[in-house]
């Protein structure tokens, strides 16, 4: 019996060896692996049945129950069914008295193993050495019972020779085989996981290597402790100009570190490798292969793998584009994008520095402000492309007229300023110096300007202010004073220059105060109507023209020449004109009730801004409705400036007014905007010829001829 047990143990060990080989060879083909495993288990059962412990003819004792139950438990149903089928076939072929019991043992062992596997998967019944032993005891107690069914002779012989030792020995064999098979599968699973882990690790390493090498915007370099380069990706090639084969093996100090930084880099690297603390990230200016500088943001990583020397990785981002964008933004914040001249902000800073410097030196500073005459009209008619080309040309011309230390700037639109400093300490001499430069600038502006096949002639109005060391001033004050002087030049006919004087500021202050007072005057009804009689050729009064006067509570009657132009400029002429119209219509309504005045006409002036209001006609209708005035006794006097633009629109409005019953008169005819051709088209009732043509009509034949022709 001992020999048979040794043979059975050898078969179990052989089974384990062959099973492990099968697992290794067919790990990636599970169907094949399971089929071969089933054949192995079935083959071991067959060998056991061919060399069994024979109790009687046809009654065999072997390890098939151990093999089949563990095949089912550890390897699963496919392996178990193949082994069971093979074992049944072999036992059937051996025949004998115990064939039925033998087949029953095969089926019950396989079924018990599958049941145990199901319990483990469903209810987590443990599979350990003691659990396997208990399972083996229960299984072989069942088989012990099957043997008792073979009859009294066989059962008595079995009980006498083996007895319950059969249960213990085969239970131990079951636990032993189960433990071996389970250990083999777990070891193989661990080995597979390790292989998969290594494979994934290699794949990750390859992906990381590929990623680092292909990063388009991040230069990655690897260095040893002594500075030797061992890694250099494509972005590093593009950034620094070295190919990888040129860089690897060389010291980073020789590659990309400028000479003045060598000592600092050595010290920083030494500290990093000693303390294992990475060098702080920051902006650096390194060098390329051709020696040119390059700005980068550099981050550093300290890498130490056990058993290998420590390494440093540098990740550099090219800051060239960002630096250029910052420089461009800085330039645009300080310079004019079109002309490349300093803008108001930079010019104000330079003017402030000049004022401080000249105050210390006791010299004068001058500011010239020039505005191109009628440029807006030209820009709108010819297009902004032509206008921009002219502005660039004018910027170059003005720059050519001043010295290098002086400044030219474009403030806005067609407005330029020139700063002249380090002038004479005597203000009169400084003004003479400025006059020379100013005349030169104006002459340069007047030079013909060729654009395409068109030649243009421009002029400029200039204002000049000179600041001396005797009186402190500010940037804003000088700019305002130069602007006032420039507008004085425009008032004097343009194409000239004017020096600022204190009277200009007084006039401006007075205009500002007057503007505020006019607003109050409209609210407090300080304005009154005066009537200027109108007579016919026989000297009889046939009507009157309403004229507005300002009865100021402190200044008395303010002449219209002082407040009418200001009202036109500030837009207050709209409110003032409406008041005059309403007052005139109310007066006419009163005259209708008096037989003495019922046949008299009233004329009232309408400004161009008031006439062009979208609701002007509707406003007149409302006033007629509110006052009850007779429009046929009202004559609206219009100015020639209406004819500057949109003549057709003006004519359409005039026709509406005529349809309402208003008379229309053209005031101051002949001052420059209208022509005889307009007279044929305008629905006019009256033309008031400018006094320049009629003052000497009685004694000047030319004036008489002009008046007669009109």
Per-residue model confidence as pLDDT tens digits over 167-196: 888 888 888 888 888 887 788 778 878 888
Q: Which CATH class is domain 512-709?
A: alpha beta
Per the CB < 8 A criterion, the answer to whether 370 and 440 are in contact is: no
What are the distances in angstroms from CA 205 to CA 199, 212, 236, 321? 10, 10, 20, 32
Per the CB < 8 A criterion, the answer to whether 281 and 254 are in contact is: no
Domain 340-500 matching CATH 3.30.70.270: the answer reads yes
Q: pLDDT tens digits, residue range 138-147?
A: 988 888 888 7
pTM of structure: 0.49
Q: pLDDT tens digits, residue range 426-463?
A: 888 888 888 889 999 999 999 998 887 888 889 999 99
Spans of all domains in the chain: 2-192, 215-323, 340-500, 512-709
Q: pLDDT tens digits, residue range 15-47?
A: 656 666 655 666 667 787 778 777 777 777 777
Mean residue pLDDT of the chain comes to 83
Distance CA 25, CA 13 (A): 19
Half-sphere exposure (Cβ direction) of 698: Cα atoms closer than 13 Å = 1
Asked if the model's pLDDT at residue 419 lies above 90, the reply is yes
Per the CB < 8 A criterion, the answer to whether 236 and 314 are in contact is: no
- Within 10 A of 287 (CB to CB), how many other CB atoms are there? 17
β-pairing, 497-499 vs 460-467, is parallel
Asked if the model's pLDDT at residue 643 lies above 60, the reply is yes
Mean predicted confidence (pLDDT) in 506-526: 78
Give the DSSP letter of residue 280.
Answer: P
R_g (Cα) of the chain, nearest Å: 56
**What pLDDT, on the 0 to 100 scale, is given for residue 673?**
46
Asked if the model's pLDDT at residue 9 lies above 60, the reply is no
Which two three-digit tokens encode residue 685? Answer: 């009732």
Half-sphere exposure (Cβ direction) of 657: Cα atoms closer than 13 Å = 28
Distance CA 340, CA 335 (A): 6
Asked if the model's pLDDT at residue 331 lies above 70, the reply is yes
Q: Any idea which residue has 């025949």 for tokens?
A: 95
Q: What is the CA angle 146-149-150, rounded to 5?
A: 105
* Residues whose CB falls within 8 Å of the CB of residue 295, separated by 6 or more in sequence, listed in order: 283, 284, 285, 318, 319, 320, 323
Distance CA 159, CA 348 (A): 121
What are the distances in angstroms from CA 586 to CA 388, 530, 657? 52, 14, 18
Q: pLDDT tens digits, residue range 533-551?
A: 988 778 888 888 999 898 8
Mean predicted confidence (pLDDT) in 676-689: 71
Per the CB < 8 A criterion, the answer to whether 189 and 30 are in contact is: no
Instruction: Tell me which long-range contacts 292-301 makes (C-beta under 8 A, separation of at least 24).
Output: 293/258, 294/239, 294/240, 294/318, 294/320, 295/319, 295/320, 295/323, 296/219, 296/239, 300/272
**What pLDDT, on the 0 to 100 scale, is given for residue 1?**
45
CATH of 2-192, one of 2.30.30, 1.10.1760, 2.30.29, 1.10.3470: 1.10.1760
Asked if the model's pLDDT at residue 527 lies above 70, the reply is yes
Per the CB < 8 A criterion, the answer to whether 47 and 7 are in contact is: no
Burial of 275 (0-12, 13-18, 19+ CB in 10 A): exposed
Q: Per residue in 648-666, is it b (16+ CB within 10 Å) or e — as a string? A: eebbebbeebbeeebbbbb
**What pLDDT, on the 0 to 100 scale, is given for residue 226?**
92
> In the beta sheet, which residues pair with residue 409?
417
Distance CA 587, CA 630 (A): 11
Percentage of residues of the chain with pLDDT beyond 90:
23
Mean predicted confidence (pLDDT) in 6-19: 57
Per the CB < 8 A criterion, the answer to whether 586 and 622 are in contact is: no
**What pLDDT, on the 0 to 100 scale, is given for residue 399?**
92
Lowest mean per-residue pLDDT among 58-72, 132-146, 307-321: 58-72
Collapsing DSSP to helix, strand or coil, 335 comes out as strand
Distance CA 94, CA 116 (A): 30
Percentage of residues of the chain with pLDDT beyond 70:
87
Per the CB < 8 A criterion, the answer to whether 133 and 172 are in contact is: yes
**What pLDDT, on the 0 to 100 scale, is given for residue 442?**
93
427-446 and 384-400 helices, crossing angle to 10°: 140
Q: pLDDT tens digits, residue range 85-119?
A: 988 888 888 776 678 888 888 899 999 999 999 99
Per the CB < 8 A criterion, the answer to whether 310 and 278 are in contact is: no
Half-sphere exposure (Cβ direction) of 370: Cα atoms closer than 13 Å = 31
Confidence of residue 3 (pLDDT cuts 50, 70, 90): very low
CATH of 215-323, one of 3.30.310.40, 3.10.28.10, 3.30.450.20, 3.40.470.10: 3.30.450.20
Mean predicted confidence (pLDDT) in 679-685: 74
Confidence of residue 267 (pLDDT cuts 50, 70, 90): very high
Q: Any idea which residue has 């009209």 for tokens?
A: 377
Lowest mean per-residue pLDDT among 226-230, 446-450, 500-504: 500-504
Collapsing DSSP to helix, strand or coil, 637 comes out as strand
Alpha carbon 39 to chain centroid, angstroms? 70
Per the CB < 8 A criterion, the answer to whether 674 and 666 are in contact is: yes
Q: pLDDT tens digits, residue range 538-597?
A: 888 888 899 989 888 888 888 888 888 878 877 888 888 899 999 999 998 999 888 888
């Amino acid at each position: 019996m001992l020999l048979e047990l040794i043979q059975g143990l050898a078969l179990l060990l052989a089974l384990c060896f062959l099973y492990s080989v099968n697992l290794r060879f067919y790990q990636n083909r599970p169907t094949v692996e399971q089929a071969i495993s089933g054949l192995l288990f079935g083959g071991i059962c067959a060998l056991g049945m061919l060399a069994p412990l024979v109790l009687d003819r046809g009654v065999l004792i072997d390890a098939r129950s151990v093999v089949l139950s563990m095949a089912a438990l550890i390897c699963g149903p496919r392996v178990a069914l193949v082994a069971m089928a093979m074992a049944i076939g072999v036992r059937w072929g051996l025949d004998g008295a115990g064939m039925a019991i033998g087949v029953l043992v095969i089926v019950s062992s396989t079924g018990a193993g599958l049941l145990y596997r199901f319990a483990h998967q469903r209810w987590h019944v443990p599979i350990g050495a003691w659990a396997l032993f208990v399972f083996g005891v229960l299984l072989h107690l069942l088989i012990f019972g099957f043997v008792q069914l073979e009859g009294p002779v066989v059962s008595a012989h079995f009980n006498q020779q083996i007895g319950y030792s059969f249960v213990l020995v085969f239970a131990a064999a079951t636990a032993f085989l189960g433990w071996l098979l389970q250990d083999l599968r777990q070891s193989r699973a661990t080995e597979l996981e390790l292989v998969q882990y290594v494979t994934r690790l290699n794949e990750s390493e390859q992906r990381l290597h590929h990623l680092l090498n292909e990063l388009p915007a991040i230069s990655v370099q690897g260095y040893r402790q002594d500075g030797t380069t061992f890694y250099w990706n494509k972005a590093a090639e593009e950034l620094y100009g070295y190919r990888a084969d040129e860089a690897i093996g060389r010291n980073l100090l020789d590659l990309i570190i400028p000479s003045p930084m060598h000592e600092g880099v050595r010290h920083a690297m030494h500290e990093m490798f000693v303390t294992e603390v990475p060098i702080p990230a920051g902006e650096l200016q390194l060098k390329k292969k051709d020696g040119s500088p390059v700005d980068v943001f550099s981050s550093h990583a300290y890498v130490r793998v056990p058993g290998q020397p420590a390494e440093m990785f540098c990740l550099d981002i090219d800051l060239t584009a960002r630096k250029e964008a910052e420089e461009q933004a800085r330039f645009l914040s300080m310079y004019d994008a079109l002309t490349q001249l300093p803008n108001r902000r930079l010019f104000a800073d330079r003017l402030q520095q000049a004022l401080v410097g000249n105050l210390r030196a006791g010299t004068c500073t001058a500011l010239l402000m020039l505005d191109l005459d009628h440029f807006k009209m030209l820009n709108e008619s010819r297009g902004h492309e032509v206008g921009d080309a002219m502005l660039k040309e004018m910027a170059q011309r003005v720059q050519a007229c001043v010295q290098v230390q002086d400044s030219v700037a474009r403030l806005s639109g067609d407005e330029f300023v020139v700063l002249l400093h380090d002038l004479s300490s005597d203000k009169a001499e400084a003004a003479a110096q400025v006059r020379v430069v100013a005349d030169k600038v104006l002459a340069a502006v007047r030079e013909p300007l060729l654009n395409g096949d068109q030649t243009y002639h421009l002029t400029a109005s200039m204002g000049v202010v000179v600041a001396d060391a005797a009186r402190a001033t500010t940037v804003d004050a000088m700019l305002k004073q130069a602007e006032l002087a420039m507008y004085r030049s425009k008032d004097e006919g343009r194409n000239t220059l004017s020096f600022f004087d204190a009277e200009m500021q007084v006039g401006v202050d007075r205009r500002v105060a007057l503007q505020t007072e006019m607003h109050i005057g409209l609210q407090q009804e300080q304005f009154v109507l005066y009537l200027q009689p109108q007579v016919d050729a026989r000297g009889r009064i046939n009507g009157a023209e309403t004229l507005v006067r300002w009865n100021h509570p402190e200044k008395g009657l303010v002449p219209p020449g002082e407040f009418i132009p200001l009202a036109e400029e500030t837009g207050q002429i709209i409110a003032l004109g409406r008041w005059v119209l309403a007052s005139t219509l109310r007066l006419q309504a009163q005259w209708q009730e008096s037989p003495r005045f019922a046949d008299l006409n009233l004329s009232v002036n309408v400004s161009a801004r008031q006439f062009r209001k979208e609701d002007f006609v509707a406003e007149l209708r409302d006033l007629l409705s509110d006052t009850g005035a007779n429009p046929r006794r009202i004559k609206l006097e219009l100015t020639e400036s209406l004819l500057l633009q949109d003549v057709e629109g003006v004519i359409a409005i005039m026709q509406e007014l005529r349809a309402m019953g208003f008379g229309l008169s053209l005031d101051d005819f002949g001052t420059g905007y209208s022509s005889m051709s307009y007279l044929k088209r305008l629905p006019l009732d009256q033309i008031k010829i400018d006094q320049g043509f009629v003052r000497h009509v009685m004694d000047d034949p030319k004036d008489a001829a002009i008046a007669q022709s009109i």
